[in-house]
Structure 1
Amino acid sequence: MSPPNVVWITLDSVRSDHVTPGGATRNTTPKLQQIVDSPEGYYHDHCISHGRWSLPSITSILTGTYPSYHQTGFDNNVLVSEVPTASELFSDVGYTTACLSRNPHLSSETNLDRGFDRFKYVQASTLLQNAGLKTTAKFLANIRTHSAGFELNKYAHSTPYIINDIAKRWVQDFTQSNNPFFFYLHYNETHTPYYPPLPYLDAFDEEFHMEPREAARRVLEICDNKDEHMANGFSEFSDEDWRILSAMYDSEIKYTDKMIGDLIEYVMKKSNRKTIFIVTADHGELFGEYGVFGHTLVLHDGLVHVPLVTHGLDVEQDLVQHVDILRTLAEKAGVDTESMQGLDLRTESRDFAVAQTSAANLDPYLKFNSEFNSEHYIQDAQSDVVRTKSHKLRTGKDQEWLFELPDEETDILESNQNIAYELREKRDGWYQQHGSVSERSDDTYSEEMMQRLEDLGYH
């Protein structure tokens, strides 16, 4: 049997309970639901990301290794040369490899472009250069349909139309060859700030009272000052503010769902061999849980429980992690998986998942409020969670909490020491198997990269 094509689509900042197959209260992802309902589709109910933010999570996706091993986003700003990438490994067995990225963490600055035959990081400042004159002209002609119209604020504009146009050209090229392809795409529109294209501004406006464009501009203002709002415990937020944040976030998801559905349909029509599709998220988003707006500080399920839709993978397991999906794909493609740490889900299953994060940096919030409430955050050490389908043990240095999911407010540690003991045993054995690489990197980001990250709210 010839090896399959692989199309892996990662959405930024999408939590599982905000997509239709994950039980969202709004119909945000009808296209994803169609894929799930198709004969080869499946929704994995408990996909646990490897971290709470993009860099460690994307690195795990693209290497098949855990953050404690690759250390990217922990001790290192970039992926070290000792850790092979999926693009290199798939190339070794004859795949054409390609990546389209809208996230600066997935760029040459982090070495995550390594091994791709084609790679583009699409950013506003180099749009014409990266997208080309034809795509740029088409986007401008459709700017009221697929973006914010003639809006001067660059953060109001959307780029999935551009990503899709480039992607379709590349797919057309791929299908002219006899080689299978591994195509990784990262859509960033569901990241803050949330400003959906004009036709989607009123997608869920029945739940708030502002005029939709006014609501979107208010969301831009909130996102621009989110550190200060968090520091002050959202004391200036109204119920309407929370409603419009949630509505605009879901509207962004709905638009992105349409665009990825469009791309998947195109690939299905053009593909000259079996194609496996993966649609997931690098992490989720919090809307006030543990005093957080965004994706920082904690490993709450709103950040680590992410959607995962597969089509053609032929695996129906619920508790999975991204390293498992990559390992399973690699095994199907005849790729060398010696460097990968995930499970082959065709023959193995997991009974717990692990997510990790570095120490919480409170400086951005303390500068606005020296009495910032830090009770939920682990400041002095790396922290992790061990999660099963029913329970979650959160640990860092001398702090520990146990929760019976989905409740992450009631600590049941004292009355359930037997469950905590079992999860500690799982965690300790896991760490013995997944140490760190020997190499450390002293690479630092360029000033341009630092500015791009600051614009996205990273510190």
Structure 2
Amino acid sequence: MTGDARPNVVVLCLDTVRKDIYDQYATRLREMATVRFEGMRALGGWSVPSHAGMLTGAVPSETGVHTHQRRFDPIDVADTWIAPLSRSGYESVCVSSNIYASPVFGFDRFFDRTVPISPSRRLPAGMDVQRHISDRSTDGVEAYADFVRQALAHDHPLRSLANGVLLKLDDVSRKLPVEKPTDFGGRAIARTLEREVTEPDGPVLAFANLMDAHGPHTPFRGLDDSIHGVSADFHSSRFRDSDVNAADGLGEFGADIERVRRLYAATVDYLDRIVADLVTELAAGDDRDTVVIVTADHGENLGYESDGHLMNHMSSLSEALLHVPFDIITTGDGDLDLAVDETRADEQGAVPGDTSSPVAVDGLSSHTDLVDVIRSLAGEDPFDPFAFERERARAEIVGSGSGIPEGGDESYWDRGQRVVYEDDRKYYRDQLGTEAVYDVSGPPSKQVERPDETVPNGLFESAFGDWVTDDDHDERAFGEEVDAASRARLEDLGYL
């Protein structure tokens, strides 16, 4: 494809969506896929290092972006997959409800334009209500009057007022036994992304982060009650994930964790519906073909035995976190120009170049290759998905990424951790010297420890280094102090 015929390329990051739950509940997207990468692994276990890895294909010790440096300043724009396509005429846009993937932490500088979405700014043209709340010096009736005055003085007064009403409805629903009336930004992102992709005349390279599957979890309007069956007054803030992680098993938290699991599954089903609708709208709203990559920055621990009975994504490199979806969907009249050799085609009962049934890449693959996948999809040459199978993949984190359990051993929860994948084995080593070997040949997002096996000599080529123990990490984690509105958002998400 050349010139104006080049497709739009959209990377949809379903934040915190693990592979096994995606396979079970994202049935529409699975059916729409032209190519399915079944063995895709993320480069980190939580948002900051994983987003840096998605941009560059590198792990935290290489990008310099991790728990102790959460801004994206160390990354050169030229080292991302956005740069070469921007030089070739692609217009780049980011639409995100993840505060880390936003201007607050410097994520916007990689794109021509960035549209942040948040619970206090669902209509992005309107004012950010949370910033008004954080900056206000009045209370009670005067505070509401002050908000109305500012909203009416805004360039988009009706949208500003609507943002305030929606935020207030969410707040009221949390205090009453009624379901939350809005989602966590998914529909707003879908609407915004459709406009941002279809309105420009030239090809668009878009990245979007949908945070709905990320905690906190509570029933909200649009979820399928037949999947979750959780009462409207439940909210996952009734317990702390860090308390579960410090406990011996699930214990007293078991019933609440089961509710979270069901809400999580229903949310993945919800995301499946709105993203499938988005793909349909992209096909109808633009003469240009669009290639959509559906993936996740990482998955989620849900307290299962294979998750180490851990919750959320702190201090872990479990398969629940690292095994992520990666489906490629095409829109328009043109099919993806696949280059699948005859041997591979015969194995799947497919015809080379035929995209009427999905091609499954079952081997190991990694976000390391996202940059080359995107270049290939946007280029003139046929796309060979099997060229991205790997003999080895890796992932890495340092620090907990969120609050350390009260009274917990900071050296343990804040330790550096690395894994290397080879064939059906996952080799683990942490900064404290702990090693383990896991069999990952079974169901998605599961790992089985093999205590009789050892990590091969020389597999981990380097020591962790000073970057994981810098005494100044607390001071430089956020760069300049984040504003009060951003801090409130981080606290609500469990990062502070």
Give TM class, smaller chain: 0.7 to 0.9
Residue in 2 aligned with 1:387? 421
Contact map agreement 1:67 1:356 (CA 8 A) in 2: yes
Letter of the structure 1 residue corresponding to residue 494 of structure 2:
G
Alpha-carbon displacement from aligned partner over 1:116-174 (angstroms, at most 9, x marks no partner): 22211111233445466777899999x8xxx9797256994312221122222223312
Change (3 A) 1:140 1:107: closer
Letter of the structure 2 residue corresponding to residue 355 of structure 1:
A
Q: How far off its partner does 1:284 sit?
A: 0.8
* Selected match of 1:183 from 206, 214, 219: 206
Residue in 1 aligned with 2:480? 444
Change (3 A) 1:117 1:363: closer
Distance 1:191 1:18 in 2: 13
Aligned residue runs from structure 1 range 256-271, under 5 A: 256-271=271-286
Distance 1:56 1:279 in 2: 19
SS in 2 for 1:247: helix
Residue in 2 aligned with 1:235? 251
- Higher mean Cα deviation, 50-59 or 78-87? 78-87
Answering whether residue 388 of structure 2 is matched by residue 351 of structure 1, we say: no
Residue in 1 aligned with 2:367? 322
Change (3 A) 1:94 1:390: same
Contact map agreement 2:399 2:415 (CA 8 A) in 1: yes
Q: How far off its partner does 1:246 sit?
A: 1.2
Letter of the structure 2 residue corresponding to residue 203 of structure 1:
S
Residue in 2 aligned with 1:169? 195
Residue in 1 aligned with 2:17? 14
Change (3 A) 1:248 1:133: farther
* Selected match of 2:93 from 95, 98, 113: 98
Residue in 2 aligned with 1:340? none
Letter of the structure 2 residue corresponding to residue 172 of structure 1:
T
Change (3 A) 1:244 1:184: same
Indicate the RMSD between aligned Cα atoms, in angstroms: 3.5
Contact map agreement 1:53 1:283 (CA 8 A) in 2: yes
Letter of the structure 2 residue corresponding to residue 9 of structure 1:
L
Alpha-carbon displacement from aligned partner over 1:278-324 (angstroms, at most 9, x marks no partner): 00111111122323111111111011111111125647533211231
Contact map agreement 1:195 1:252 (CA 8 A) in 2: no
Contact map agreement 1:6 1:276 (CA 8 A) in 2: yes
Contact map agreement 2:361 2:386 (CA 8 A) in 1: no
Letter of the structure 2 residue corresponding to residue 446 of structure 1:
V
Unaligned runs of at least 5 residues, structure 1:
336-342, 432-439
Q: How far off its partner does 1:15 sit?
A: 0.6
Q: How far off its partner does 1:259 sit?
A: 0.5
* Selected match of 2:290 from 240, 250, 275: 275
Alpha-carbon displacement from aligned partner over 1:15-73 (angstroms, at most 9, x marks no partner): 101023xxx3xxx112112213xxxx122111100111011111211233332211212
Contact map agreement 1:324 1:344 (CA 8 A) in 2: no
Letter of the structure 2 residue corresponding to residue 71 of structure 1:
G
SS in 2 for 1:392: strand
Answering whether residue 173 of structure 2 is matched by residue 151 of structure 1, we say: yes
SS in 1 for 2:225: coil
Residue in 2 aligned with 1:78? 71
SS in 2 for 1:387: strand
SS in 1 for 2:84: helix
Change (3 A) 1:196 1:33: farther
Contact map agreement 2:116 2:124 (CA 8 A) in 1: no
Answering whether residue 118 of structure 2 is matched by residue 119 of structure 1, we say: no
Aligned residue runs from structure 1 range 199-278, under 5 A: 199-205=222-228, 212-214=230-232, 217-222=233-238, 225-233=240-248, 234-238=250-254, 240-278=255-293
Letter of the structure 1 residue corresponding to residue 240 of structure 2:
N
* Selected match of 1:34 from 26, 31, 34: 31
Change (3 A) 1:4 1:134: farther
Change (3 A) 1:362 1:134: closer
Distance 2:295 2:207 in 1: 11
Answering whether residue 320 of structure 2 is matched by residue 302 of structure 1, we say: yes
Please report the TM-score for the alignment, with normalisation by the length of structure 2.
0.72
Residue in 2 aligned with 1:107? 102
Residue in 2 aligned with 1:436? none
Distance 1:11 1:75 in 2: 24
Alpha-carbon displacement from aligned partner over 1:394-431 (angstroms, at most 9, x marks no partner): 1013210011224645333xx334xx31xx54542999
Contact map agreement 1:9 1:185 (CA 8 A) in 2: yes
Alpha-carbon displacement from aligned partner over 1:329-381 (angstroms, at most 9, x marks no partner): 1244359xxxxxxx9956453112101110448973133xx6x8x9xx95574
Distance 1:280 1:296 in 2: 20
Count of residues in correspondence between the two structures: 406
Aligned residue runs from structure 1 range 401-416, under 5 A: 401-405=436-440, 406=442, 408-412=447-451, 415-416=452-453
Distance 2:112 2:401 in 1: 37
Contact map agreement 1:135 1:162 (CA 8 A) in 2: no
Residue in 1 aligned with 2:430? 396
Distance 2:43 2:51 in 1: 9
Distance 1:129 1:275 in 2: 24
Change (3 A) 1:149 1:272: farther
Distance 2:309 2:483 in 1: 31
Contact map agreement 1:327 1:344 (CA 8 A) in 2: no
SS in 2 for 1:354: strand
Contact map agreement 2:12 2:207 (CA 8 A) in 1: yes
Change (3 A) 1:48 1:361: closer
Alpha-carbon displacement from aligned partner over 1:209-233 (angstroms, at most 9, x marks no partner): xxx334xx334344x5322343344
Residue in 2 aligned with 1:64? 57
Residue in 2 aligned with 1:160? 186
Contact map agreement 2:404 2:413 (CA 8 A) in 1: no
Distance 2:309 2:388 in 1: 38
Q: Which has the larger radius of gyration?
A: 2
Answering whether residue 207 of structure 2 is matched by residue 193 of structure 1, we say: no
Distance 2:372 2:195 in 1: 28
Contact map agreement 2:93 2:113 (CA 8 A) in 1: yes
